[in-house]
């Protein structure tokens, strides 16, 4: 099968081919989901190298478990769950380290990676930097489930239904997590509004 | 620079969760129309929604990474997959002659062999602790015998004390130790 034909395949078809032993087509899934996987990991870690390692680990795990995928959920829901679980394990292990890094950034006033656009004035940039740091700290302080629900909805654009599948919970519970996360963020960012 | 706000305008308790969903475009049509109707007449809920519109999109803005980063990412990933597959193939080839049904069969055979071994070998085995008595040095054994002798003496002394308390006469020639 040529590359163009592979690109046109649906996820379920790619998975079926992998399950039959054509594992080289898995690379299509890598190409398709690498950015999303990396972004989720980055939202959890705030570190490019860690995010790369964690998201790549998720791909390897998906690859080695592809035969266990039973198609009851979509591939991306199944894959997102792998990514999120790997990230949560990582943040549990490194929770303290992340906090310490954020503390250092605050002390040094390190400029975060994004948020301020090119047209912003220095004041606005400083303000945006501070807002970003505050938001990161609030997210870090949140219970894992609230943070996961928020990141998947706000940053990844997943539907409530899909988040419920990824987190293996009900839609009602996801709504509650999301509401609490948003309320906490709004409260902590009040002065920047 | 804009003056920062120092008071938090709270939304109506019954609507806050729905406002979050409304912001994300979630919720049923009925929920949406209920929220929209309420927003017409509630300034604090309107303000809450405006805050979300200002804050949340900024948080989701992804950092731009150069295309080279993604090329490297992809190539690295393909390499890792190849290594993983190679290892897996080696492992698989090791057990290639073993069919699926062979695993439980081997397991059953191993358990049976262990059971037979236990039954047949019973009585022929020597436990290390059965030889403990033999390994104790003679000096210590002699001390143990003396200890038993002194313990029996103590017992006789106690017996005679009890007899004295009880007023029982002790016949001459009977054991009497003081």
Cβ <8 Å between A155 and B59: yes
Cβ <8 Å between A23 and B85: yes
- Tokens coding B58: 């900024």
Q: Residue A26's closest CA among A35, A17, A38?
A: A17
Using a CB–CB cutoff of 8 Å, tell me whether B39 touches chain A: no
DSSP B65: -
CA distance B172 to B93: 94
| Cα A142 to Cα A180, A188, B71, distances in angstroms | 9, 12, 34
Q: Where do the domains of chain B lie?
A: 16-60, 133-166
How does the average pLDDT of chain B come out, rounded?
76
**Least CB–CB distance from A193: residue in B5, B16, B26:** B5
Among A36-40, A157-161, B131-135, B146-150, the minimum mean pLDDT is found in: B131-135
Query: What local confidence, expressed as pLDDT, does residue A136 receive?
Result: 87
Query: pLDDT tens across B51-74, in order?
Result: 999 888 888 777 788 999 999 999
Query: What local confidence, expressed as pLDDT, does residue A82 receive?
Result: 94
Q: Residue A155's closest CA among A33, A47, A34, A43?
A: A43
How many CB pairs (< 8 A) connect A and B? 104
**Least CB–CB distance from B1: residue in A26, A123, A193:** A123
Work out the average pLDDT over A94-106: 55
For chain A, which domains are there? 10-97 (1.10.1740.10)
- Tokens coding A151: 């990141």
The pTM assigned to this predicted structure is 0.65
pLDDT at A116 > cutoff 90: no
CA atoms within 13 A on the CB side of A24: 4
Query: Position of tokens 């912003």?
Result: A120
Q: What angle do CA A159, A162, A165 make, to 5 degrees?
A: 155
How does the average pLDDT of chain A come out, rounded?
84
**Do residues A46 and A115 lie in contact, with contact meaning Cβ atoms separated by under 8 Å?**
no
Query: pLDDT tens across B64-120, in order?
Result: 889 999 999 999 999 999 998 888 766 666 665 565 667 777 788 888 888 888 888
**Do residues B160 and B170 lie in contact, with contact meaning Cβ atoms separated by under 8 Å?**
yes
**Least CB–CB distance from B1: residue in A38, A127, A193:** A127
Name every residue whose Cβ is closer than 8 Å to that of residue B12 and which is 6 or more positions away in sequence: B38, B42, B44, B45
Task: Give the distance from residue A189's alpha carbon to the nearest chain B alpha carbon, in angstroms.
Answer: 8
Query: What local confidence, expressed as pLDDT, does residue B146 receive?
Result: 72
Query: What local confidence, expressed as pLDDT, does residue B141 receive?
Result: 66
Using a CB–CB cutoff of 8 Å, tell me whether B12 touches chain A: no
Cβ <8 Å between A34 and B17: no
Contacts of B8 in chain A (CB under 8 A): 186-187, 190
Using a CB–CB cutoff of 8 Å, tell me whether A60 touches chain B: yes
Contacts of A161 in chain B (CB under 8 A): none
Instruction: Please count the other Cβ atoms lying within 10 Å of the Cβ belonging to residue A19.
Output: 14
**Least CB–CB distance from B58: residue in A115, A153, A175:** A115
pLDDT at A118 > cutoff 90: no
pLDDT at B178 > cutoff 50: no
Give phi and psi for A51, each to the nearest 5: -65, -40
């Amino acid at each position: 099968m040529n590359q163009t034909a592979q690109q046109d395949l649906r996820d379920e078809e790619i998975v079926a081919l992998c399950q039959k032993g054509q594992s080289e087509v898995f690379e299509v899934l890598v190409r398709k989901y690498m950015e999303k996987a990396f972004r989720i990991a980055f939202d959890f870690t705030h570190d490019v190298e860690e995010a790369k390692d964690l998201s790549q680990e998720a791909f390897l795990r998906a690859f080695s478990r592809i035969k266990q995928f039973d198609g009851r959920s979509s591939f991306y829901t199944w894959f997102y769950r792998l990514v999120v679980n790997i990230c949560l394990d990582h943040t549990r292990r490194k929770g303290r380290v992340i906090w310490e890094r954020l503390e250092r950034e605050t002390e040094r006033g390190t400029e975060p990676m994004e948020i301020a656009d090119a047209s912003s004035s220095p004041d606005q940039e400083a303000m945006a930097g501070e807002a970003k740091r505050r938001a990161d700290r609030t997210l870090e302080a949140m219970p894992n489930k609230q943070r996961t629900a928020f990141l998947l909805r706000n940053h990844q654009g997943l539907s409530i239904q899909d988040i419920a599948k990824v987190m293996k919970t009900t839609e009602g519970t996801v709504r509650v997590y999301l509401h609490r996360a948003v309320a906490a963020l709004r409260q902590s960012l009040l002065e920047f509004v | 620079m804009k003056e920062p706000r120092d008071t938090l305008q709270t939304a109506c308790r019954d609507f806050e969760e729905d406002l979050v969903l409304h912001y994300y475009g979630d919720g049923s049509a009925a929920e949406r129309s209920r929220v929209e109707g309420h927003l017409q007449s509630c300034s604090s809920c309107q303000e809450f929604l405006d805050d979300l519109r200002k804050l949340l999109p900024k948080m989701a803005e992804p950092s731009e990474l150069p295309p080279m980063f993604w090329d490297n990412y992809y190539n690295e990933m393909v390499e890792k997959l190849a290594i993983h597959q190679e290892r897996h193939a080696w492992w698989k080839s090791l057990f290639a002659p073993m069919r699926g049904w062979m695993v439980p069969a081997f397991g059953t055979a191993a358990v049976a062999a262990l059971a037979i071994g236990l039954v047949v070998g019973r009585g022929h085995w020597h436990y290390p602790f059965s030889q403990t008595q033999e390994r104790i040095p003679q000096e210590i054994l002699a001390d143990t015998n003396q200890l038993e002798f002194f313990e029996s003496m103590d017992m006789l002394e106690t017996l005679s004390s009890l007899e004295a308390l009880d007023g029982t006469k002790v016949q001459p020639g009977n054991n009497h130790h003081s």
